[in-house]
């Protein structure tokens, strides 16, 4: 792209067209462009990977560190509404102008080196954090870990939240294979945190092989809930009488514990007091993770798109007062649609299916065939798109019903 004024929308359209594959794992290309740009962060870096829970851990770390007075850079994906939400400094999305400036610098530096959309975004986030002189940066892994673009940077603390079956085309078909990819973010001499209570053995084995310090949930750190509060017990002491995170779901204590364990690893460089922890837990925000919107009928937004996340969504729905439930549902073709549907079948009374565009998108008619083959008990309604599915669900639901939009 020539060096002319471009809007963020122009840039994003251009980036989508640059690489023949939307996902192209490997570090050689992005590492070369990073070298040309001279991106050498001098602040602590936390990298968070895992099948599910990555976004929650990133959000809690960002909220707590911000409450402690630090200037925090946080890079997550994907975004729900605006691309800018992927790159935040001091809990504020960076401007279109800042992103465009970074994209232009990367474009000039890369020459003929091809980069994917995500690789461009990862480099732009780090360039922004360095330019804004953050005190600490949090990077969420996009896919896997070992060959993901964020792994071109060395983590001072690496977190693996959970390991389950997802992205099998890229990461392998077993938990052991997937765990081996996620363990790639560990670094020698640094703490590697595992918040999965029953992880594949390869996580610990890889940490020991490279000389990382492995901390595991229920062995090296743990939590206990009681009487509306919870306690965290880490290697260096306890944090007692903590408020529950405002993010819904019992599993969020597992994610919160991983976040607090990560803070323990950086306590000498980034000390965090109890008041900041408490404030951070009650002020954290993460749209789309079992987000219950006000009003009637009740509308629940959740990004559950694999069986592990679907089980968490099912548990959350089952813990709520009984109600007739309408699903607004769409998924990508390379996801385990069958597995997600079977887990949630018993809780859904009517399925409103929306088509997704793009090469990976699944058409609503295809979805209907999958649901029929699963023998779902609920009614199936084929819609033009997700917006149409939501509109039809809102029209059909009564004020005492609920709508769960997920996928």
In the chain, % of residues over pLDDT 90: 79
387-400: average pLDDT: 97
pLDDT of 168 higher than 70: no
pLDDT of 404 higher than 90: yes
CATH number at 291-406 = 3.90.190.20
Q: Alpha helices, DSSP H only, in 21-74?
A: 28-37, 54-67
Please check whether residue 138 is in contact with residue 75, taking contact to mean a CB–CB distance below 8 angstroms: yes
pLDDT of 20 higher than 70: no
Q: Using CA atoms, how far apart are residues 309 and 288, in angstroms rounded to an integer?
A: 12
State residue 248's pLDDT score.
82
State residue 250's pLDDT score.
76
Q: Using CA atoms, how far apart are residues 288 and 303, in angstroms rounded to an integer?
A: 6
Q: What is the number of residues in the chain? A: 407
Q: Which residue has the higher pLDDT, 404 or 168?
A: 404
pTM given for the model: 0.87
Over residues 252-264, the pLDDT tens digits come to 999 999 999 999 9
Mean pLDDT, rounded, of the chain: 93
Which residue reads 């669900």 in tokens?
Answer: 393
Q: Using CA atoms, how far apart are residues 306 and 327, in angstroms rounded to an integer?
A: 16
- From residue 215, how far is each of 154, 212, 267, 294, 356 by CA, in Å? 18, 10, 15, 39, 40
State residue 184's pLDDT score.
95
Over residues 320-375, the pLDDT tens digits come to 999 999 999 999 988 899 999 999 999 999 999 999 988 889 999 999 999 999 99
Dihedrals φ, ψ of 87, to 5°? -125, 115
State residue 3's pLDDT score.
54
State residue 167's pLDDT score.
59
Over residues 49-103, the pLDDT tens digits come to 998 899 999 999 999 999 999 999 999 998 888 999 999 999 999 999 999 999 9
Residue span(s) of the chain under CATH 3.40.1190.10 come to: 8-283
Over residues 200-220, the pLDDT tens digits come to 999 999 999 999 999 999 999
State residue 8's pLDDT score.
96
Token readout for 71 is 């200037």
Beta bridge partners of 198: none
131-150: average pLDDT: 93
Q: Using CA atoms, how far apart are residues 99 and 57, in angstroms rounded to an integer?
A: 24
CATH 3.40.1190.10 fits 8-283, yes or no: yes
CA torsion 178→317→74→11, rounded to 10°?
Answer: 90
Q: Using CA atoms, how far apart are residues 135 and 208, in angstroms rounded to an integer?
A: 30
pLDDT range class, residue 279, cuts 50, 70, 90: very high
Residue span(s) of the chain under CATH 3.90.190.20 come to: 291-406
């Amino acid at each position: 792209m020539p060096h002319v004024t471009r809007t963020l929308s122009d840039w994003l359209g251009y980036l989508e067209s640059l690489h023949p594959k939307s996902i192209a794992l490997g570090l050689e290309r992005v590492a070369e462009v990073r070298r040309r740009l001279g991106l050498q962060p001098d602040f602590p870096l936390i990298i968070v990977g895992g099948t599910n829970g990555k976004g929650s851990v990133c959000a809690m770390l960002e909220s707590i560190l911000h409450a402690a007075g630090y200037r925090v850079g946080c890079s997550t994906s994907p975004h729900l509404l605006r691309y800018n939400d992927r790159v935040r400094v001091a809990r504020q999305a960076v401007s279109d102008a800042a992103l465009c400036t970074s994209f232009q610098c990367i474009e000039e530096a890369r020459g003929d080196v091809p980069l994917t959309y995500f690789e461009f975004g990862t480099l732009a986030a780090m360039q922004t954090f360095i330019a804004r002189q953050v005190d600490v940066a949090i990077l969420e892994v996009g896919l896997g870990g070992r060959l993901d673009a964020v792994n071109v940077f060395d983590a001072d603390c690496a977190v693996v939240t959970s390991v389950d079956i997802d992205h099998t085309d890229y990461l392998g078909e077993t938990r052991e294979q997937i765990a081996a990819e996620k363990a790639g973010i560990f670094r020698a001499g640094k703490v590697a945190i595992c918040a999965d209570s029953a992880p594949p053995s390869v996580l610990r084995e890889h940490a020991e092989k490279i000389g990382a310090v492995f901390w595991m949930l229920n062995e090296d750190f743990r939590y206990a809930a009681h009487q509306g509060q919870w306690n965290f017990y880490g290697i260096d002491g306890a944090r007692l009488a903590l408020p529950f995170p405002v993010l819904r779901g019992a599993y969020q204590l597992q994610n919160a514990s991983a976040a607090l364990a990560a803070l323990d690893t950086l306590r000498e460089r980034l000390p965090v007091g109890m008041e900041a922890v408490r404030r951070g837990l009650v002020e954290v925000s993460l749209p789309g993770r079992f987000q219950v919107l006000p009003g009637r009928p009740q509308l629940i937004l959740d990004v559950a798109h694999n069986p592990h996340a679907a089980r968490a969504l099912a548990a959350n729905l089952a813990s709520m007062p009984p109600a007739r439930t309408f699903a607004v549902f769409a998924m990508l073709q390379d996801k385990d649609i069958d597995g997600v549907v079977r887990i949630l079948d018993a809780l859904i009374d009517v399925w409103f299916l929306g088509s997704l565009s793009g090469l990976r998108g699944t058409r609503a008619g295809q979805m209907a065939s999958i649901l029929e083959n699963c023998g779902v008990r609920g009614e199936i309604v084929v819609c033009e798109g997700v917006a149409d599915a939501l509109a039809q669900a809102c029209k059909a639901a009564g004020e005492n019903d609920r709508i769960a939009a997920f996928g």
